[in-house]
Amino acid sequence: MPLVTTTKMFKDAYEGGYAVGAFNVNNMEMIQAIVEAANECKSPVILQVSAGARKYANPVYLKHLVAAAAETTDIPIAMHLDHGADFEICKASIDGGFTSVMIDASSKPWDENIAITKKVVEYAHAHGVVVEAELGKLAGIEDDVKVAASDAQFTSPDEVEEFTSKTGIDSLAIAIGTSHGAYKFKPGQDPKLRIDILEEIGKRLPGFPIVLHGASSVPQDQVAIINQFGGNMPNAIGIPESELRKAAKLAVCKINIDSDLRVAFTAAIRKHYVEHPDHFDPRQYLGDARANMKEIVKHKIINVLGSQNKA
Ligand code: G3H
Ligand code: 13P
Ligand code: ZN
């Protein structure tokens, strides 16, 4: 099935009280793990490409790998630019076949965020591509930029109507307590999302799809495997899956997950190396990594997103 935009995915998700997973991809095994999981769960899925992924893999390789994945399944797949930093990268992605782009000018002043976002929307819509933008500031690390928790800002519900109407965006990423990376909170903390802010934004923008970034939960069993087999990840916890489930039942239609996939991929490789010190064929350990990542994606689809059987 050819790649699709997120328009129908989000309408169905909004009405059905679930969210679509947006998973970051960097290589063939990751794309296969995500698409095989989504296919088995009959779930729509978004494959997203960050600046780091473009640098690592070359966008042309990623484009063709995603196209190959779409060709081998009938589930709806959107290819999305994650955290587009400026108009040029959004334009290049639109010209290169992405069906969805994010322009992330959330760190810029209000007027500038609106002006850049509007320019991307005009170009994207003229090419049949949808646009996500962001209001508010998440803590954590994204594309090597670290935002301290003290500098993070929740999205103000008072701003969302003006921002969406002035820019014409198709979905809005908001900050309600999620944060990027695998080290979000210390063990013992009890992280909660500001569901009250989400509900208020939902009232101000009825029917409008909301996006959550930084939604990894940092699976403790996988971190334990990494540390058991020679790793040294600090103890940390992520966003509780129960909190994400609540958000998915409300206006949140897209949930971004990257760090949890990395942890699962790495855990399987570390275990493989220790259990099979004689192996040197990359297909053996990458095969394990792919299989382990696939299980995490299936878990997210069934237990967090609720998007199984919605393809
Ligand atoms: O939000 C950031 C994503 O997790 C992508 O990170 O730039 O290291 O690929 P990356
Ligand atoms: P995590 O680091 O929590 O997986 O967030 C990923 C993300 O938001 C990608 O845009
Ligand atoms: Zn993000």
299 in contact with ligand 2, CB cutoff 6 A: no
Q: Alpha-carbon distance 127 to 208, whole Å?
A: 21
Q: Which residues neighbour 11 within 8 Å (Cβ) at sequence distance 6 or greater?
A: none
Q: Which residues neighbour 25 within 8 Å (Cβ) at sequence distance 6 or greater?
A: 31, 34, 47, 48, 49, 53, 62, 65, 66
The region that residue 298 occupies, defined by phi over 0 for left and psi between -120 and 50 for alpha, beta otherwise, is alpha
Q: Are 251 and 210 contacting, i.e. CB atoms less than 8 angstroms apart?
A: yes
24 in contact with ligand 1, CB cutoff 6 A: yes
Helices 28-41, 259-275: crossing angle, 10 deg rounding = 110
Residue 12 annotated as catalytic: no
Backbone phi, then psi, for 80, in 5-degree steps?
A: -125, 140
Decide: residue 184, CB within 10 A, 0-12 exposed, 13-18 middle, 19+ buried: buried
pLDDT, position 122: 98
pLDDT, position 149: 67
Q: For a substitution probing ligand 1, which of 217, 258, 259, 261 has the most ligand atoms within 8 Å of its CB?
A: 258
pLDDT, position 150: 65
40 in contact with ligand 1, CB cutoff 6 A: no
Which listed residue (12, 74, 82, 260) is catalytic? 82
Alpha helices in the chain (DSSP H): 7-16, 28-41, 51-57, 59-71, 87-95, 110-126, 157-167, 195-204, 220-228, 241-249, 259-275, 282-300
pLDDT, position 214: 98
What residues does 145 pair with on adjacent strands? Answer: 142
The token pair at 110 is 């209000």
How many Cβ atoms from other residues are within 10 Å of residue 264's Cβ? 26
Q: Tell me the per-residue pLDDT of 20-45, one tens digit each, with 9 for 90 and over.
A: 999 999 999 999 999 999 999 999 99
179 in contact with ligand 2, CB cutoff 6 A: no
SS3 294: helix
Residues of the chain scoring pLDDT < 50: none
pLDDT, position 226: 98
